């Protein structure tokens, strides 16, 4: 049976002993040489007698490893410092043909979905058909999103931010420039798209028509509505109005540009040119 123990000093007034000088002795069966383990490479174990009366030979000291020297040697070593690649030119001025099997990675920019409304059913539906509780929730989310998104132009602040619970007429604008909330990101527009997709699918399931027609109808609801919701090409009714009290025209739009300063500028310029044309006609008469 092997008995192992460690010597340590403890108690008041004890002399501090460093970790590296802690020695472990292992007392083995009689007539064997004690094993002496030490973490101090320069430490010479004391003379210890075994049961047989022999004095063990002190273990040879081991040189400590200098990590700083090793790091320095690694930094100056030329080993494993040759640059390589899967295609290396013989010299800095050499040229080579394009590798035929090299795969070219490229990004695909977002493209508006091409709408095909041929198989869509006739829908007489909009968010006003939702319950008051649902409309209140949608409007609360709409005004919060507008206020949180803020304006794109530095120093600009939200100027108009409202949503009519009765008809969902909505406006989100800044005192200058565009808002950070594109119309397709408006909660009212997103809610219309999702709920319209559901209403569309329900209309396709109504009795009448062939199985093939109903299947085509459901696919059209999926591709025109549900697959566009939340994307720049979102297909939904237009709930943007110019002022509180106005009713939205609910015309179907893809994306939408309400709150876009560039669109507002284009509209203003077009109006100015139209007015100038009217004045010119009057003067000519």
For residue 267, the surrounding DSSP H or E stretch is helix 261-284
pLDDT of residue 111: 75
SS (H, E, C) 68-131: HHHHHHHHHCCCCCCCCCCCCCCCCCCCCCCCCCCCCCCCCCCCCCCCCCCCCCCCCCCHHHCC
Q: What is the mean pLDDT of residues 197-203?
A: 96
Q: What count of other Cβ atoms lies within 10 Å of the Cβ of residue 256?
A: 21
> Which residues, other chains included, contact 61 with Cβ-Cβ below 8 Å and sequence gap of 6+?
41, 42, 43, 44
Regarding predicted confidence, which is higher, 84 or 242?
Answer: 242
Structure tokens given for 212: 């093939």
Residue 268: φ, ψ to 5°: -65, -40
pTM: 0.55
Classify residue 269 by its DSSP letter: H
pLDDT digits (tens, 9 = 90+) for 114-172: 899 999 999 999 999 999 999 999 999 999 999 999 999 999 999 999 999 999 999 99
pLDDT at 122: 92
CB 48 within 8 A of CB 34: yes
Name residue, tokens 């004391």. 46
**Token duo for residue 123:** 């829908």
**Tokens found for residue 236:** 């939904």
**Residue 221 to residue 201: CA distance in whole angstroms:** 6
Write the CB contacts of 275 (distance below 8 Å, at least 6 apart in sequence).
none
Beta carbons of 177 and 156 less than 8 angstroms apart? yes
Per the CB < 8 A criterion, the answer to whether 127 and 168 are in contact is yes
- Pair 175, 246: CB distance under 8 Å: no
DSSP 9: -
Q: Is the pLDDT of residue 89 over 50?
A: yes
User: What does the pLDDT look like over 11-32, one tens digit per residue?
Assistant: 444 444 444 444 444 444 555 5
Cα pseudo-dihedral 121, 125, 130, 135, rounded to 10: 120
SS3 201: helix
Residue extents of the structural domains in the chain: 1-58, 127-260
- SS3 state at 31: coil
Mean pLDDT of the chain: 74
């Amino acid at each position: 049976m092997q008995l192992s123990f460690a010597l340590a000093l403890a108690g008041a007034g004890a002399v501090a002993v460093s970790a590296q000088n802690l020695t472990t002795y292992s007392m083995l069966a009689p007539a064997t040489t004690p094993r002496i383990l030490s973490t101090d490479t320069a430490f010479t174990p004391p003379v210890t007698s075994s049961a047989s009366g022999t004095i063990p030979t002190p273990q040879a000291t081991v040189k400590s490893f200098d990590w700083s020297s090793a790091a320095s040697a690694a930094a100056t070593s030329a080993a494993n410092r040759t640059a390589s690649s899967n295609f290396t030119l013989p010299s800095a001025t050499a040229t080579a043909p394009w590798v035929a099997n090299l795969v070219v990675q490229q990004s695909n920019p977002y493209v508006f979905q091409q709408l095909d409304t041929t198989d869509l059913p006739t829908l007489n539906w909009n968010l006003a058909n939702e319950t008051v509780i649902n409309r209140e929730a949608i409007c609360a989310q709409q005004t919060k999103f507008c206020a949180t998104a803020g304006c794109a132009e530095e120093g600009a602040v939200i100027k108009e931010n409202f949503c009519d619970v009765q008809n969902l007429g909505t406006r989100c604008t800044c005192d200058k420039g565009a808002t950070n909330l594109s119309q397709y990101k408006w909660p009212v527009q997103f809610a219309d798209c999702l709920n319209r997709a559901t209403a569309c699918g329900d209309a396709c399931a109504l009795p009448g028509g062939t199985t093939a027609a109903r299947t085509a109808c459901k696919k059209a609801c999926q591709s025109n509505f549900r697959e566009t919701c939340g994307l720049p090409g979102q297909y939904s009714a237009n709930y943007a109005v110019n002022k509180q009290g106005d009713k939205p025209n609910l015309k179907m739009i893809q994306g939408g540009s309400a709150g876009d300063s560039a669109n507002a500028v284009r509209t203003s310029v077009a109006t100015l040119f139209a007015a100038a044309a009217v004045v010119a006609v009057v003067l000519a008469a």
